[in-house]
Chain A
Amino acid sequence: MKHLLFAAVLAVPGLPAVAEDITIGFATAKSGWLEAYDTPAATAARIRIDEINANGGLLGQQIKWIEADTKTDRAQSAKAGLQLIDGGADMMVVSCDYDFGAPAALAAESEGMNSFFLCAEDVKAGIQGVGPNSFSGSVLAAVQGATMAEWSHARREARSAYVLLDTIIEYNKGICRGFDWMFPRLDGAEIVGRDTFKNDDASIASQITRIKSLPEQPDVIMLCSVIPGAASAVRQLRAAGIDSLILNGSAVDGSYWLDATPDLSGFVVPVQGSIYGDDPRPEVEAFNKAYEAATGARPASSYAYPGYILIDLWAKAVERAGSVDGAAVTAELEKMRDEPTAFGPRTFTPELHHQNYAQMQIVEITAAKPAVTDSWTISEPVPLDVLLKR
């Protein structure tokens, strides 16, 4: 019996019998605070997997998935990565957040395997922070900030802007970096002031005092923050009677927090697709319906979408490469230029495994009702040195 087991263990690497299926490993948070962000995107990824399987699979094989809980813990993330590698994963999907996804992604990288961050929007989540076979399914934070700058300048005659940065995570700095790069380049536009706060500050009264002591209220306020700090900042800004258009990154998408500021208006969010049923592209609404059928509820924010996109792109690259080998798939992914997806075209290059420009839907909240008001693609990709500037 012992010998038999031993033989079986020896035989596994050489035997493609196990590889009848292609296995995707999910090293994501199934518990802890990150779960609320990982689960929707992972669900979306599985919807795409099911679609591919229903259409005959990938390279003639069915895709199956295995998972390991990272418990919103960096050490557990590394462990989950190794566990999935042992479980025979051919590709690894890791947590939304760079800090929590990177340990698992690094484990995948050391095996020469592809890894995809579910929705990380920091440039580190890819070549720069993990290695040559790592990608992100989402759109860089800086693109969101730059989109807000160019759109508000073109469509809302924004000429003066105030930048309010929540320094708690790198994502927020990324949004502001994109805005700071784009806005001053625009005709007649000027950043008239800036300030910082921290997400868990009990009050931003002093920051509000500073805005109110400006000689003139700014046309727009670029708020680089995430929930809950962002919701709390907006509540306090509006309560203080500051009526400027408030611009944000995608992270505040979703109507679930709108109760924090009753009857909110003049609040704009760039998103990859609309969860509100009014996206101009029918594929997006078709996905929303599929998501509802799978989970019983529509997506709570647009952060489900990158999960779907990443499986879609990876599967296409696998078909083209004819294998799931990390380096071969990476080479195919890097050839993608404006590759169509349900949520707009996507590009990967040998320098950047992320989107440094993308078509974004502009969602505006008016009287507490979010609706797509426009669609915008920045006129020029955010340059790599802007992205990497610390």
Chain B
Amino acid sequence: MNAVASADCREDALAALAALRPPVRVIAERERLVAFEMDAYVQRRETPMAAVLPDTEDQVREIVRALARLGVPVVSRGAGTGISGGATPRADGVMLVLTRMRRILSVDAAARLATVEPGVPNAQVTEASAPAGLYFAPDPSSQVVSSIGGNIAENAGGVHCLKYGLTVHNVMAVRAIDGEGDLLEVGGEALDAPGYDLLALLNGSEGNLGVITRATLRLLPRPEATETLLAAFGTVKSAAEAVGAIIGAGVIPAAIEMMDRVVIDACERYMALGLPRAEALLLVEVDGGAEETAETRAKVEAILAGCGVTEVRVAKDEEERANLWKARKGAFAALATVMPDYYTMDGTIPRRALPEVLEKIYALGREYGLVIGNVFHAGDGNMHPCIFYDSAKAGELERSEELGGKILELCIDHGGTITGEHGVGIEKLEQMCLQFRVGEIAAFHDVKRAFDPEGILNPGKAVPSLKRCAEWGGMHVRDGRVPRPDIPRF
């Protein structure tokens, strides 16, 4: 994917950036560029030709215009917490780093809106809104550091999506610079906007359609009460069935998270939390009015009792609540103690298929001789199988990636998707060819061209080229519908 920039091209790009007025901060020394050589998708790294760190929207526009004139790719980056390689650099491209644009421009308590620059960390929006009794609902686990611009670019999720939606449901307006350097003002303070819903396209566009320079976010009132309970099960299957039973009873919990034995053991070793000994744990959170929440919690307890639960712990206060969440929130850190390396997947499946798909995932793990742990958003059917490997052992990374691909295919086969919240990036390009057919991939490229005709913005990410899909031989036959035979295979 990465052509190495010719020396001339690099000189031209650096000269163009140096000529910008007011001057913009540019990093060109190789040793300082190391900081940007990868995001949290650590399997790939690359040194960009330069990094540029604007302070204002005007600078972003001028940077994109200057680089577009030269045909130099622009890879935008926020905090670099993405785990699909959306911000993996290109050797022939410039990193556009937005972390200096981190002002909260306004918190309008009456209108329940916050307007922020793209580099503001997610959690700071909620901190700034808290005095008004408000908060920003999307809460990816990286929220302390991950930036709003990145959250929008990836349409980030979190643990409360079933009830409160993804990022796309909580963004009112976005300002973005398109691939021609034009400022797009999309959405607004009103509850809809004229024309096509371009906001839907920009959310989750992985830096391909525009560089986000400002966002207006919808804030929600803090619920009056929240209750959290932890339920232990003797089998993964019974835990998965309990999830369906709760939702089937008309309860929409604020969160339902699941952890399997591998994860429970890792958490216990790492944090010594005194978790119940179980094959699976469910963490269920309900919120709403004070009386309502107590009623809902009682209802959930009754349902769990009918689903073979072996132990239920209910948090009595905020401290106990935090304790119950500790295992879930610390799970990924704990997992790092299992093996030197692990690789987190992100498929979503219809919830009813959870028991079967989990069983197949464990079987695949046995087949590949790799340990897999599962900690995930069970209420959304959004799975995060973690595949453990040792990169020091020859071939193990490749084997883990192959196993990951198989898991994603399993998700597609069960009517799901290859990514629920992490994005495609460079990681899942190949599986995109399985989930979508030629016509759909072509339509994605049409959308890309509408915003970025020259393909300057984060090229090679999010959507595979038709040529690559044909090379992989993976164009998909779905629902018995044969891919369009009239479209030439490259």
Q: Do A and B come from one complex?
A: no
